[in-house]
Chains A and B, each alone.
Chain A
């Protein structure tokens, strides 16, 4: 799997991660993440052909509860931390067209 991480790949991953990076950050992260990727390549030494993946430490499966209405957070509490809101809604810039920013 060994492969030298490029700045273009870092820019692509930053875009997928919704992170706006400076050129300097792209440069530093390329080296730093490249080193980490090179290290984690260590796992390719192992034969894992017949090993069951383990996503979670517990063996429990779905936990079901009675389908009853329980208390939920009131809307004013939910919106309390919103950077912009128009109760009962969160406010964001217009998604389509060229409307004004929120």
Chain B
């Protein structure tokens, strides 16, 4: 064996295992060793299934398990239900929860032969942009451990960026895949709403949530999407298989020229408030796309600035309803000595939920409550329509929109924890994609210099619904298929 396993992409590993240049057992073992060495200081995983993973790898080596991902080690965000280990959502209320079923996306991964290494940390119930809201421990950014990895899929992003897995699944309600992907320097896709089944994704905001791939290369993301996408009769909002286009294979468009494509730039996303290095990355990508012969067109998304307000009404309203199921009766934490049934609910929930989850439940309850429904919730649904119409209009003029996923590189721990509104404003370039239901792809765009540190920055591509193949095509033109560099993270001292 003469390959550096944990430096490899998912597809390289898959091919090397298939060609018997390396065994699935060796691959899994290499990742488990790296996890043992680095995870304590990074906090990417909250659970590691070493024994089960090696057993699965042995089944691949014995030829009992085959498929498009045979032997590939993958990490799963811990808001995806698994019948092995626990499904905690990084919340005390679900600390001991053992799911009676597997999420469809997890089932599809395993059916394709993937080896699941463990479950990754997140902001409690996926509510947050820094992973600081985990009830267990923070996850550190492997490029600078004094900074956050982004969130809420911060554990998955850190695990991919530090070489603690070949790829990971995350979930994205308002940017929770793309923002941590950008801050950790990897590839992350929020698919079109409905493309991936949400069955077994613990619901935060059901009209916004999507599961998606987090990887080191564009082709890895394309393959992972190919495996997890598809209609699921158990998720009635999942799209019919023909919605993605007859016979579309997400790997097919990679390497195809982009000279016939029109790329949109929206002034609302290229603000002076951005870090200049973020805007410079856009300028460089525009120059590159022009060189390839793509046409650059200006588009207008006039309601962009209303996205955050709309999102935090819609998402919290849905959350207040979704999280009503945590009642201390059916599953999850129950308080010790309730005075009566109402107190059992209120005390169990008070003890089990962290402050950010409480704030969002209350905000959603407030905006849905009598007297405020029309002023807040109904109005937000109407603005949501205006935001969607902005995109519909823009996509008559261009094939995809190029924009930053974040205004700045990773911020330091504690920077925004006392000020929830400041944390919310961080999602300015990601939430509108979820509100409109369109796909968004974050890709690495090099590094910014911040206080003597090299911090990753990203680019984001937004496209019409079910245009994932085209987004991958443009991404591959921009960054090729070189895997994103692993964080040069070493054990402290």
Binding site for B on A (CB under 8 A): 1, 9-10, 13-21, 25, 28-29, 32-33, 35-37, 39-44, 46, 48, 51-58, 60, 63, 65, 73, 77-78, 80-84, 90, 92-93, 95, 101
Enumerate 19 A-B pairs (CB-CB under 8 Å) in ascending A order: A16-B365, A19-B346, A19-B353, A19-B358, A20-B347, A20-B349, A28-B355, A29-B359, A35-B421, A40-B313, A48-B379, A54-B381, A55-B381, A63-B236, A81-B97, A81-B100, A81-B330, A83-B329, A101-B340
- Which residue of A65, A92, A101 is within 8 Å of B329 (Cβ)? A92
**Count of B interface residues, CB-CB < 8 Å:** 75
Contact residues in B for A46 (Cβ distance below 8 Å) = 303, 306, 383, 386
Q: Are A43's CB and B237's CB within 8 A?
A: no
Complex: A41 Cα to B372 Cα, angstroms: 12
* Docked-complex contact A60 and B362, CB < 8 angstroms: no
- Rounded to whole Å, the gap between the CB of A92 and the closest CB of chain B is 6
Q: Are B369 and A21 in contact (CB under 8 A)?
A: no
Q: Is the CB of B332 within 8 A of A1?
A: no
Q: Does B279 contact A (CB under 8 A)?
A: no
Contact call B358/A81, Cβ cutoff below 8 A? no
Q: Inside 8 A of B378's CB, which chain A residues have their CB?
A: 53
Say yes or no: is B420 at the interface (Cβ < 8 Å to chain A): yes
Residues facing A in B334-363 (CB within 8 A) are 334, 337-347, 349-350, 353, 355, 358-359, 361-363
B490 in the interface (beta carbon within 8 A): no
For B363, the chain A residues whose CB sits under 8 A away are 33, 36-37
B355 engages A77 (CB within 8 Å): no
For residue B395, CB closer than 8 A to chain A, the reply is no
Please report the C-alpha to C-alpha distance between residue A71 and residue B381 in the assembled complex, in whole angstroms. Answer: 37
B382 to chain A, nearest CB (A): 4
Inter-chain contacts of A29 with B (CB < 8 A): 358-359, 362
Give the A-binding residues of B (Cβ under 8 A): 96-98, 100-101, 193-194, 207-208, 233, 236-237, 239, 303, 305-306, 308-310, 312-313, 320, 324, 327-334, 337-347, 349-350, 353, 355, 358-359, 361-363, 365-367, 369, 375-376, 378-386, 388, 419-421, 424, 435-437, 465
Residue from B193, B305, B379, B386 in contact with A44 in the complex, judged by beta carbons closer than 8 Å: B379
Instruction: Find B349's partner among A18, A55, A56 (CB 8 Å cutoff).
Output: A18
Q: How far is the CB of B331 from chain A (nearest CB, A)?
A: 4
Q: Is there contact, CB below 8 Å, between A73 and B100?
A: yes
The smallest C-beta distance from A19 to any residue of chain B, in angstroms, reads 5
Residue in chain A with minimal CB distance to B356: A32
Given contacts A33-B363, A42-B309, A80-B100, contact A53 B382 (CB under 8 A): yes
Interchain CB contact under 8 A, A54 and B359: no
Q: Which of B96, B303, B345, B421 contacts A18, CB < 8 Å?
A: B345
